[in-house]
Amino acid sequence: MDTTEFRKRGKEMVDYVADYFEQLDKRQVYPDVEPGYLRPLIPDSAPQDPESFEDVLKDVEKIIMPGVTHWHSPYFFAYFPTASSFPALFADILSGGIGCIGFSWAASPACTELETVMLDWLGKMINLPEEFLAGKDGEGGGVIQGSASEATLVTLLAARTRTIRRVQSENPELTEADIMSKLVAYASDQAHSSVERAGLIGGVKIKNIPSDDKFAVRGSALKKVLHEDRAAGLIPFFFCATLGTTPCCSFDRLLELGPICNKENIWMHIDAAYAGSAFICPEFRHLLNGVEFADSFNFNPHKWLLVNFDCSAMWVKTRSDLTNAFKLDPLYLQHCHQESGLVTDYRGSNKLNEALLKSINDARKIHLVPCHLREKFVLRFAICSRTVESVHIQFAWKHISKLATELLKAQDKQQQ
């Protein structure tokens, strides 16, 4: 498919999606198929020759649609809302077209900075305390996760690391294994199963706190369990409060729970995946009172805010708690705008290679990253784009050779 056909087929796909939405109420909301229905309808292996775009769309309608649960149907009342909108679909096209991978600032500055600024916007919309915003010099900030389950796991692991380091500083004789065996996390007996799963992945005990007659966790219930566990020699370190539980949208009592967690040095994470979008409305913002006691907060714009899955927004008061827990710096991910520089002592030709890399990337005609092969600082040259041709490789090699020659000449002059 070239750009000419992409334009043509793109218009056809937009028409197909628009027709789908216009006629969605006429489709059966839940499919009438049995497990395994699809396999007999498609080939056992991928076809050797391509099919026409028209035939592919016919297969979508004939084979795929009969097995689709239509989450956006006006007759769909299961699970939870999943958002979608035409502007969000356009954004998906643009994002997919640009196709950058924003795992660090250097990997794509606009990607990283736009995420940070947009999450500040969203945090202000729900009136999060200032500590949760990145701003220009803030210590907190937001980051997009794939789901609330990921947010719970990430914060639990960060809390685990923070607690282990604190306990080891107070008791140097204790090993990490000693401490891990005593760590215990808590959540409501109404909390999502992902909290328990996070405990399994994190290798820590998880205990359910009994909820009251309104299915909410109260401060007295948490305090009772904490007292029992500390008496048994355990180390409470994490509590996941839920605002909008999955079964009945109940709300744990943050104003009772928060001060207890702060006093007991327990990380309080707030899972507002389901109900969090409502806090934008002033009449519902009071339900978030007590968030000021939390270490982290999360909700899912992909449920109510017309943003396509997956967009789960998470904020932390101290982002270094996250970066310190997960920081691994292979050389190819390091760059001159991160918080810390390179730590290895480079010598001889390594310094030349570092200087060459800087010269290449400063020129901005091509882009490379380095790696370490044992003691050597090596420039990696990876063929990345599907549109690369030999002319681009030759250009890159001539450019690198020219800069390397200039660098060696400059070094010779310094040595004379």
Residue 179 has a pLDDT of 93
**For 34-56, what is each residue's pLDDT tens digit?**
999 999 999 999 999 999 999 99
- pLDDT bucket at 344, cuts 50 / 70 / 90: very low
Distance CA 172, CA 178 (A): 11
Residue 336 has a pLDDT of 57
**For 201-260, what is each residue's pLDDT tens digit?**
889 999 999 999 998 999 999 999 999 999 999 999 999 999 998 888 889 999 999 999
Say yes or no to pLDDT of 348 above 60: no
Residue 101 has a pLDDT of 84
Two structure tokens written together for 125: 């919309």
What does the pLDDT average to over 134-155?
Answer: 90
- CB 273 within 8 Å of CB 249: no
Distance CA 308, CA 295 (A): 27
Say yes or no to pLDDT of 343 above 50: no
Beta partners for residue 241, in sequence order: 270
Chain centroid offset of residue 192 CA: 19
Share of the chain above pLDDT 70, in %: 95
Least confident residue range of 4-13, 275-284, 367-376, 397-406: 367-376
Residue 46 has a pLDDT of 92
- Indicate the pTM of the whole model: 0.81
What does the pLDDT average to over 7-36?
Answer: 92
Two structure tokens written together for 192: 């999502």
3 state SS of 289: coil
What does the pLDDT average to over 104-132?
Answer: 91
Say yes or no to pLDDT of 366 above 50: yes
Alpha-carbon radius of gyration of the chain: 27
**For 150-173, what is each residue's pLDDT tens digit?**
999 999 999 999 999 999 999 999
**For 298-334, what is each residue's pLDDT tens digit?**
999 988 888 888 889 999 999 888 888 877 655 545 5
- pLDDT bucket at 347, cuts 50 / 70 / 90: very low
